[in-house]
Amino acid sequence: MTRAYGRVVEHDERSRRFAVRPAFALRTVLWRHNAPVLDQGEIGSCTGHALAQWLNCEIGAKSRGGGGAYLTSDNALTLYEMATQLDEIPGFYPPHDTGSSGLAVCKAGVAQGYLSSYRHAFGFDQFLHAMQSGPVLVGTDWFTGMESPDDKFFIRPSGGLVGGHEYLALGANLTAQYVTILNSWSADWGSGGRARISFDDFKTLLAREGDVTVPVGVGA
């Protein structure tokens, strides 16, 4: 099976002015996503698909127009197309499948009226605090050890580097110390499109120029 990725590193020092605010207390969270799992196919639109799946979570209902129809891969591609126009990466989609960033796709989400704003989490501790309020977009390197989850649905940053990828973090289990992610490779991947990353491995990924973008929905 041919799989696409599409996350490109794009960091802006000005983003540090918009870091997430600390939560009062940390707890285990797993945010609800009942929509069909999207599939980016062979296009490097993981950023657009990750944001579309955020909007398809229960927390994104207002941003969809009071719980309107779930976003589709067509909507995700529209977000990706605009992201390639807003980022600093040479080229645009279409025709060039350049990939994009979490920063740019959230800019697209604001421009298309889905988001009121977005914030950023810097480092693992801020990531945990951001997760207290809802799912977040995560952009990291992607390795061959992450291609197929094991029998406990864990993926690991081992083996060869295959590219950069954007995905949705749905949960953080403080007791078992793992992050639950939702990928955009259909429900056939992992456990209904989901997989787990241990806290230690997630820290490793963030340390390799990983980024966490925190959408703020309309009416939030």
Total number of domains in the chain: 1
- Half-sphere exposure (Cβ direction) of 176: Cα atoms closer than 13 Å: 13
User: Distance between CA 160 and CA 6 in Å, rounded?
Assistant: 17
In a domain, 202, yes or no: yes
In a domain, 16, yes or no: no
User: Distance between CA 41 and CA 33 in Å, rounded?
Assistant: 20
For residue range 89-140, what is the model confidence (pLDDT) as tens digits? 999 999 999 999 999 999 999 999 999 999 999 999 999 999 999 999 999 9
In a domain, 206, yes or no: yes
Chain centroid offset of residue 147 CA? 16
In a domain, 193, yes or no: yes
3-state secondary structure of 107: helix
In a domain, 43, yes or no: yes
Report CA torsion sign: 140, 32, 174, 13.
Answer: positive
User: Distance between CA 81 and CA 77 in Å, rounded?
Assistant: 6
> What is residue 124's predicted lDDT score, i.e. its pLDDT?
96
In a domain, 33, yes or no: no
Binning the chain into helix, strand and coil, the percentages to the nearest 5 are 30, 25, 45
The domain containing residue 199 runs over which residues?
Answer: 38-217
For residue range 28-61, what is the model confidence (pLDDT) as tens digits? 999 999 999 999 999 999 999 999 999 999 999 8
In a domain, 189, yes or no: yes
- Name the burial class of residue 159, with classes exposed (0-12), middle (13-18) and buried (19+) by CB atoms within 10 angstroms of its CB: exposed
Q: Is the pTM of this model over 0.85?
A: yes
The CATH number of the domain holding residue 186 is 3.90.70.10
In a domain, 4, yes or no: no
User: Distance between CA 108 and CA 111 in Å, rounded?
Assistant: 5
The answer to whether 124 and 199 have CB atoms below 8 angstroms apart is yes
